[in-house]
Amino acid sequence: MKFTLSWLKEHLDTDRGLEEIAERLTALGLEVDGIEDKTAALAPFTVGHVVRCEQHPNANRLKICHVHTGAGETQVVCGAPNARAGMKGVFAPAGTYIPGTDMTLKPGVIRGVESNGMLCSEREMGLSDEHTGIIELPEDAPVGAPFARIMGLDDPLIDIALTPDRGDCAGVRGIARDLAAAGIGDLRDLAVDPVAGRFKSPIDVKLTLPKGAQIACPLFVGRYVRGLKNRPSPRWLQDKLRAVGLRPISTLVDITNYFTLDRDRPLHVFDADTVAGGLHVRLSKAGETLDALNDKSYTLDDQVCVIADDDGVLALGGVIGGQSSGCTGDTENVFVECALFDPLRTAASGRKLAIDSDARYRFERGVDPDAVIAGMEQATRLIVELCGGEPSELVVAGAVPGWRRTLSLRPARVEHLGGVAVPLDEQVRILTALGCTVAECKDGNLRVEVPSWRSDIHGEAELGEEVLRVHGFDNIPAVSMPRLGALTRPAITVKQRASTQVRRLLD
């Protein structure tokens, strides 16, 4: 799970430094696998302004760009088709190490024309595989400013290794909640304002799963949005995705990726104009196929949960979408999916088809069953804000499965389990900060209602572990094994004693 420090602080109000946050994450069981700070590596790359651009006299595909770097003007020979006068790009002077090509720039002469430096593409910068043209920066980017700062790449990237039981921390907000409980700041409020539907959705959803398989998709919430424009996403959203290694595609796709990473809430968006009739959530039929969004084709057996229309399979539930209903730059009407899929079936389908996706990673660990409608409302609001359009009323098929668990915790049990006494009020504070509802009973025990996002807590031992984890395992005192008293005399049998006495008499 990767996220930047600034992204974390959108959910966590804190002034703590990177080192302290990283140490506390590991202490909480969210082990920090690595921290990447690109500032030093990208320091030589700055904003350059192409003041003049001329055709190379000896090569039809090359141009001579005169680049203002903030420290003067330099000449660069460039082969990018989008190089032109007036644009701003990423300038690398001679002597700069180019990570994407593993080379160090040197001054040179290209087809008889001197070149000092480079205007870089995303592949040359090591940001993506895009190399059809050089990077174009915003018109208001200050000439000579560090590229890393302009693109938000000066933000430390934190990578944590999640254990399978902590699916609630597969989103930045869950990580922030744990840190807040540990005293590293306060969890910021998250507004969930319902979006008023203006018409009835022309696409309906039916759950047609056989008896015994209804758990494959117990709840499906959808919404039709018409008249939108699927533009490139705004810079803040692109920067977020690039920082964690994802390539921005379009506003609609980028929004789904953002919610997956930010709220641990996978979404899918269908181009509504490609859907024939209504949507059916069912099990696949043996031999059905899907051309997926990863450019691969899959043949299904009869055990995969699929979303289909009247013509066939459109997506594999909780795993991946299909090309035929994918969104493009021409998409004007969409149907947004926010659903629950069974962790076991999702994991089995993903393994069987060898598909690894961000959605599968989260659904097979379990997502918050009580946040499906809230996730749809939040996603709809952002879609309308960035793409325009008019939302329909919600389409709801199924119901939230029962998740409520009320457990009992004996405060003394925490010390018995962990060897450290945690005051009662601190136990209550920790559990409350983690999202539990806690009440003190007359017998002195705590009645704890587990939050919907913690599917891993099932008993008193897990509650005790949560208290100890946040209180700090490092607070458990080191206790040596008790020393044994005087050595006991070895026991001998009657036969051995008689044998010893006989030997003594014979001596």
How many angstroms separate the CA atoms of 158 and 166, rounded?
17
Q: Are the C-beta atoms of residues 4 and 246 closer than 8 Å to each other?
A: no
Position 63 pLDDT exceeds 70: yes
Per-residue pLDDT band at 343 (split at 50, 70, 90): very high
So what's the pLDDT on residue 100?
87
Compare 58 and 487 and report the one with higher pLDDT: 58
- Kindly write down the DSSP assignment for every residue of 225-251, as one continuous string: EES----PPPHHHHHHHHHTTPPP--H
Q: What average pLDDT does range 117-126 have in this prediction?
A: 91
CATH number at residue 347: 3.50.40.10
Per-residue pLDDT band at 495 (split at 50, 70, 90): confident
Is residue 194 situated within a structural domain? no
Kindly state whether residues 239 and 295 are assigned to the same domain. yes
Point out the least confidently predicted range of 32-36, 188-192, 291-295: 188-192
Position 487 pLDDT exceeds 70: no
How many angstroms separate the CA atoms of 68 and 4, rounded?
32
Which tokens go with 346?
């999702």
**10 Å Cβ neighbour count for 59?**
15
Kindly state whether residues 66 and 144 are assigned to the same domain. yes
Is residue 107 situated within a structural domain? yes
Q: What average pLDDT does range 282-311 have in this prediction?
A: 96
Cα dihedral 273, 277, 281, 285 sign:
negative
Kindly state whether residues 21 and 119 are assigned to the same domain. no
Kindly state whether residues 365 and 296 are assigned to the same domain. yes
The domain tally of the chain equals 4
Kindly state whether residues 73 and 30 are assigned to the same domain. no
CATH number at residue 67: 2.40.50.140
For residue 364, the Cα-to-chain-centroid distance in whole angstroms is 14
Q: What is the tens place of the pLDDT at every residue in 450-462?
A: 999 999 999 999 9
Record the pTM: 0.81
So what's the pLDDT on residue 473?
87
Measured at the CA of 418, the angle between CA 413 and CA 422, to 5 degrees, comes to 70
Kindly state whether residues 338 and 430 are assigned to the same domain. no
Max mean pLDDT among 58-62, 129-133, 257-261 falls in 257-261
So what's the pLDDT on residue 488?
63
So what's the pLDDT on residue 132?
87
Is residue 355 situated within a structural domain? yes
Which tokens go with 426?
């601190």
So what's the pLDDT on residue 41?
83
> Domain residues for 178?
2-37+156-187
Point out the least confidently predicted range of 4-18, 331-345, 419-433, 471-485: 471-485
Kindly state whether residues 256 and 236 are assigned to the same domain. yes
Q: Which residues, listed in sequence order, are joined to residue 438 by a DSSP beta bridge?
A: 448
Q: What φ, ψ does residue 8 adopt, rounded to 5°? A: -60, -40
Alpha helix segments (H runs only) across 65-154: 122-125, 147-150
Position 490 pLDDT exceeds 70: no
Report the chain's mean pLDDT, rounded to a whole number: 93
User: Of 266, 316, 267, nearest to 288 (Cα)?
Assistant: 316
Position 386 pLDDT exceeds 90: yes
Is residue 51 situated within a structural domain? yes
283-288 own/partner pairs: CB under 8 Å, 24+ apart = 283/209, 283/210, 283/213, 283/216, 284/313, 288/312, 288/313
Position 486 pLDDT exceeds 80: no
282 dihedral zone (left: phi>0; alpha: psi -120 to 50; beta): beta
**How crowded is the C-beta side of 23, counted as CA atoms within 13 Å?**
9
How many angstroms separate the CA atoms of 349 and 303, rounded?
8
Using a pLDDT cut of 70, give the percent of the chain over it.
98
CATH number at residue 16: 3.30.56.10
Is residue 452 situated within a structural domain? yes
So what's the pLDDT on residue 133?
94
Kindly state whether residues 138 and 268 are assigned to the same domain. no
Kindly state whether residues 350 and 295 are assigned to the same domain. yes
Q: Are the C-beta atoms of residues 377 and 222 closer than 8 Å to each other?
A: no
Q: What average pLDDT does range 345-350 have in this prediction?
A: 97
Kindly state whether residues 387 and 435 are assigned to the same domain. no
How many angstroms separate the CA atoms of 126 and 98, rounded?
8
Is residue 75 situated within a structural domain? yes
Is residue 66 situated within a structural domain? yes
Kindly state whether residues 423 and 375 are assigned to the same domain. no
Q: Are the C-beta atoms of residues 257 and 233 closer than 8 Å to each other?
A: no
Per-residue pLDDT band at 336 (split at 50, 70, 90): very high
Is residue 482 situated within a structural domain? no
Point out the least confidently predicted range of 240-249, 294-303, 472-481: 472-481
Position 484 pLDDT exceeds 80: no
Kindly state whether residues 145 and 160 are assigned to the same domain. no
